[in-house]
Structure 1
Amino acid sequence: MKQVLRKILSSAIVLAAFACGKDPFPGGGESNLEPVPPPDTLVTPRPDTSTTKKFFFGVNGHPLNQEAYATLSSGEQMSLLKSLGMNIYRVDFTVTSQGKIIPKQRFEKLRLAADSADITILPMLPDAKLDYNGTEEIAYQQGYDRGYGFAQENGNYFTYYNIGNELDNDCILPKKSGKVAEHYDSKKFKIIAAHLKGMDEGIKAVDPTAQTMVNASWMHYKYLQMLEQYGINYDIVAYHWYGEMETMASSTYNINDITQFLSTQFSKPIWLTEINIRNRTGEVSDQVQRDLLNTIIGKCKENPRVHAVIIYELFNEPVFNSIESYYGLYDWEQPYKKYKPKLWAAEQERKIAGL
């Protein structure tokens, strides 16, 4: 039966491609590469038992690959998320060219803890090191292999996949806003688009029910529209929005609510997958962070088109000695053994505890 299902799915994909006249590499000529065929065993579709839209509220973390998280158990991280009233954890993965997780053992502990706490893990599946002087065909196959391998090994654990991260910044031209196609390097864009198309199609060859998202930031919404025009069937618009963007969008473009603006540009669900202030030296007050987070979270919850908002990030990371050091909702009193909540987290903990 599984073999028959695979043949039916493969035939349907081929017929759909001919019927729509889709070139798998729009603007890039014909491909000489054969995509890896769908596996004999597909991921079992997950039934949708929900009767209303689920709103995801969560935080980013780096439990699989960064020092600030290495001494914390997976269970302790999940307890912190629960204390903040959160139900999703966006996690960046390190993978091989075939999508195999490194280190697998740490992920298994994280997955079991998340399952026990009823917290969804949103994997950020990183892109390959792209060769912008290479071909779209090679970029596509690299993406397909990563997506296919990752979903084949882990597809039963995930519904949502964040494919690539902030690749809009790799192809935006200097001093351009990103509002029109001419603001992007077309050669780099096509390599990126081919790669993301491969990741999306590799994942969905294994799990046709998967929901993929691509992220952008600032005024780079045109980049996401260009990806749609290229033929990438991603499902969710993911957006990164920081404090200076909130201020500049209002003063420069009269955009006072990025969620409402994105709702006019896309028909897809919208997720804000990174929000916070820029605290470059650690001197910005916790009150500023608290106020911005509450403002943006409030806008997201009031907009029915927005299905998720995710703060960046759970812990400060002093090891970097850079802008990355101060994004956390929790600060270290003794790295990496004793921590304390910043103002927003402390107030949220009291709210969730009913105090």
Structure 2
Amino acid sequence: MRNLLTASAALIVLCICCKCNAQIPSNPIVWGINGHPLTQLAYYNNIDEQVSQLNDLKLKSYRFDVLLDSNGYAKKEQLFVQLLTKLKVNNIAALPVLMQSGLKGLDNESIYQKSYTQGQNFATRYGKYLSVLEVNNEADNKMMLPGDPSGKTRADYNIEKSQKIIGAIKGFIDGLKSKNQNVRVTLSVSYIHYYYLQLLKDNNVNYDIIGCHWYSNMGPIGAARPKGDDVLSEFKRRFNKPVWVTEVNYSKGTGKVSFARQSQYFAECIPDLISRGVKAVFIYELYDQPALKNKDPNEACYGLVFRDDSGNYVTKDAYQGIKQIIQNYSR
């Protein structure tokens, strides 16, 4: 890979070193990154390259989406198992984000029962590869009412829809844990959507980790926009579960800002997250996705790596920035 570490990025790395040396936590941080090796064009046919890049960055977990069939098995099963095996050989933990199917048109009880069976099937077939997984992704955003609700109160949510989504998640987790009690489950939540976590609590959903998604447009996590919420303190006070930040980046990535500014955001944000007790940090994401530029341009440029016009993998400033952050926290 070619390296685009500029003079400005070098200064950022120097700043990172100073910050990290002063804030090394007593317990090791889980360092991870997001990717889409089973679902997005930019990641197809280069699993070896992705694993090599994760090893180079010293990342120990890979979070990626997996589409399931109606029985709870991976739709691209051969590729999924190959990926799980390759990650395990390289001592990289897989964190699959499981996307259920086959539940449309069912009533709430049937959704729970079918999801329970899906969870059992998934655990039986793939459980030996996994220590942690996620069910659904940003389900909070899928059950909120139109407009721009804060996500903090019951009035912000479509409660009827929420019961179906939560029933599916709960059923899958219950089935999964009936076969594998040791697997941990993280569920993602965006921004200040506290009431989604309250819905999980009220419905006795048996998950283990709050997977927070945080981007620059939300403000600092200790003083979130617009009213200065200390989000992690609120999570701890109300739900008392470990918090992993399973997505973090500058909003819209380098589609809106320079490579140096993206790297600077990580230098500012990650030490703050760790100083506030976050147990894991997952960058969003490994590769840019140019195929999304027409359909969803805001999602196209989040990567630490892009491909140039010749098809070569080129690292952005943040690639070296993240590498330096991890190195300093690992001393």
TM-score by length of 1: 0.77
Shift of 1:67: 1.1
Shift of 1:348: 3.6
Q: Deviations over 1:70-125 (max 9, x none)?
A: 131x2321221122221110011122111211222222332232122211010101
> Rg bigger for which structure?
1
Residue correspondence of structure 1 range 1-355 to structure 2 within 5 A: 53-72=27-46, 74-128=47-101, 131=104, 134-174=106-146, 175-246=148-219, 250-255=224-229, 258-279=231-252, 282-304=255-277, 306-321=278-293, 322-334=297-309, 337-349=311-323
User: What is the rounded CA distance, in whole Å, between the counterparts of 1:271 and 1:281 in structure 2?
Assistant: 24
**Structure of greater relative contact order (alpha carbons < 8 Å, 6+ residues apart):** 2
Secondary structure of 1:178's aligned partner: coil
- Say if 1:214 and 1:224, in contact at 8 Å, map to a contact too: no
1:240 match: secondary structure = strand
Equivalent position of 1:46 in the other structure = none
Distance in 2 (CA, whole Å) between partners of 1:302 and 1:293 is 14
**CA separation of 1:151/1:245 partners in 2, compared to 1, >3 Å: closer, same or farther?**
same
Determine the C-alpha separation between the residues in 2 that align with 1:210 and 1:314.
Answer: 25
Paired residue secondary structure (1:252):
coil
Q: CA deviation at 1:283?
A: 3.4
Q: Equivalents in 1 of 2:212, 2:327: separation in Å?
A: 30
Q: CA deviation at 1:134?
A: 4.6
Identity of aligned residues (%): 33
TM-score, length basis structure 2 = 0.83
Paired amino acid for 2:302: Y
Q: Does the C-alpha gap of structure 1 residues 315 and 152 become closer, same or farther in structure 2, counting only changes over 3 Å?
A: same
User: For residues 153 and 321 of structure 2, what CA distance do their matches in structure 1 show?
Assistant: 41
- Are the structure 2 counterparts of residues 280 and 271 from structure 1 closer, same or farther at C-alpha, using a change threshold of 3 Å? closer
CA 1:273/1:129 → structure 2, altered by over 3 Å: closer, same or farther? farther
Distance 1:246 1:350, change over 3 A: closer
How far does the alpha carbon of each residue in 1:253-312 deviate from its partner, in whole angstroms, 9 at most, with x for none? 213x533443333211111111112227823112221122222321232233x2211111
Gaps of 5+ in 1: 1-51
Deviations 1:149-183 (A, max 9, x none): 21110001101110111111121123210111222
**Contact 2:70/2:103 (8 A) holds in 1:** no
Q: Give yes or no for contact 1:93–1:124 (8 Å, CA) kept in 2.
A: yes
Aligned partner of residue 130 in structure 2, secondary structure:
coil
Structure 2 gap segments, 5+ residues each: 1-25
How many residues were matched structurally?
298
